[in-house]
Amino acid sequence: MSEGSRHSFLYRNGLSLTLLGLMIVFLAAQILTGYSVYNDEREDEGAPPATITEYVSSGHFIQATFENWESEFLQMAIYVLLTVSLRQAGSSESKRLDREDSSEKTPEPRPGSPWPVRKGGIWLKLYENSLSLGFLLLFLVSFVLHFNGSLKDYNEKELMSGGEPASWPDYIMNARFWFESFQNWQSEFLAVASIVLLSIWLRQKGSPESKPVDASFEDTGK
């Protein structure tokens, strides 16, 4: 009997289900509060209120949602890549300083290995980097959706105030769009730096993100 088959589906997937559930709850809260803000802004401009369906397809909602997703995926992609070669003495988030990490070992095909490992060649090379590539792809998709939503929201406000809508080549150089991105990007790297550094001195019993409670400050890695 495999390890997973001894436990229920909810037990085996509790962490991801809880995180996705929280995301859905907060996304719903974002929609409701954003919908109220959006209609307040339309009222100030003398425009009729939008329906909830119109709101979730508006630039206001798309921009606000994907500028945050974009920064999360960028942070994770760069963090995964940086941890390949960089170290932080004493941090549970770093590879050890003086020994090979299990993630660095040459993959060997064996029963139960993912099929790219058994296949080898280009498939193995792609699979070896699939985590960072996956995050980078999600970042690019979110970046494009953020840009389109921001442009749509910008043009809607311009039209309501009697201005001229911008084309995408013009808007890509607009400080407003990059301000939306940079304010999120810097906060994400602050958050990652915080867990890297705080895990040197602070502990959380039972969490795999923490070193053992009795580990010294100098111990590096999990």
Give the chain as a 3 state SS string. CCCHHHCCHHHHCHHHHHHHHHHHHHHHHHHHHHHHHHHHHHHHCCCCCCCHHHHHCCHHHHHHHHHHHHHHHHHHHHHHHHHHHCCCCCCCCCCCCCCCCHHHCCCCCCCCCCHHHHHCHHHHHHHHCHHHHHHHHHHHHHHHHHHHHHHHHHHHHHHHCCCCCCCHHHHCCCHHHHHHHHHHHHHHHHHHHHHHHHHHHCCCCCCCCCCCCCCCCCCCCC
How far apart are alpha carbons 84 and 91 in whole angstroms?
Answer: 15
The neighbour count for residue 42, using CB atoms within 10 Å, is 19
* Token representation of residue 131: 């985590």
Q: How confident is the model at residue 7 (pLDDT cuts 50, 70, 90)?
A: confident
Query: How far is CA 147 from its chain centroid?
Result: 17
| Average pLDDT score, the chain | 93
Is the alpha carbon torsion for 49, 54, 56, 58 positive or negative? Answer: negative
How far apart are alpha carbons 172 and 43 in whole angstroms?
Answer: 29
Question: pLDDT higher for 128 or 112?
Answer: 128
What count of residues does the chain have?
222
pTM of the model: 0.92
Site of tokens 């001229």: 164
Instruction: Tell me which residue of 12, 131, 157, 22 sits closest to 77, measured CA to CA.
Output: 131
pLDDT digits (tens, 9 = 90+) for 32-64: 999 999 999 999 988 999 999 999 999 999 999
Domain boundaries, the chain: 1-57, 60-86+110-197
pLDDT digits (tens, 9 = 90+) for 142-194: 999 999 999 999 999 999 888 999 999 999 999 999 999 999 999 999 999 99
pLDDT reading at 1 higher than 70: no
Q: Which residues have a Cβ under 8 Å from the Cβ of 50 and sit 6 or more positions away?
A: 35, 38, 39, 42, 58
